[in-house]
């Protein structure tokens, strides 16, 4: 299960893979309302992610390593969301893998400096699905799931 934790939106993507064939099991977006206080938004993400983990029982949770941008407030909020996800994965005994943005791009496209369109194209080809969600967060989550699956299958 790939998860792209975001400040207001969290993308997730679950796939099955045997190392050659990949198939989307589920994907989507968890969006929280900015009008709610941060604690309520964090709790909502936790409840919804935990429900997916309980129902789907993934073999791994794959996250992108956080790189600090100019907006420290956003980076801190994303770190808090990521902390919730790490806690839930540990609680449910699900291993976690993390990749940097460049590792993700290299693993999916073969080029570590690929742009978003190149990553999206590769995800569509690897999943043999041209009608994947239009949200970047979901594409990123599916890309993480694909990269993670390739590592988990080799174990």
Q: Which of 64, 103, 115, 136 is catalytic?
A: 64
Report the phi/psi class of residue 92: left, alpha or beta, with left for phi > 0 and alpha for psi in -120 to 50.
alpha
Do residues 114 and 75 lie in contact, with contact meaning Cβ atoms separated by under 8 Å? no
Annotation marks residue 4 as catalytic: yes
Q: Is 9 exposed, middle or buried (0-12, 13-18, 19+ CB in 10 A)?
A: middle
Annotation marks residue 137 as catalytic: yes
Q: Which of 18, 59, 137, 140 is catalytic?
A: 137
Residues annotated catalytic, as ranges: 4, 64, 137
């Amino acid at each position: 299960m790939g998860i792209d934790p975001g400040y207001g939106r969290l993308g997730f993507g679950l796939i099955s893979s045997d190392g050659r064939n990949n198939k989307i099991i589920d994907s989507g977006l968890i969006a929280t309302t900015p009008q709610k206080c941060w604690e309520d938004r964090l709790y909502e993400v936790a409840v919804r992610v935990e429900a997916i983990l309980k129902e789907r029982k993934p073999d791994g949770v794959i996250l992108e390593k956080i790189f600090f941008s100019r907006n420290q407030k956003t980076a801190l909020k994303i770190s808090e969301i990521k902390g919730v996800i790490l806690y839930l994965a540990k609680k449910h005994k699900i291993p976690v893998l993390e990749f940097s943005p460049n590792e993700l791009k290299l693993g999916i496209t073969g080029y570590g400096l690929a742009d978003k369109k190149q990553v999206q194209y590769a995800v569509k080809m690897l999943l043999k699905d041209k009608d994947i969600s239009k949200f970047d967060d979901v594409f990123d989550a599916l890309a993480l799931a694909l990269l993670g699956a390739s590592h988990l299958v080799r174990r």
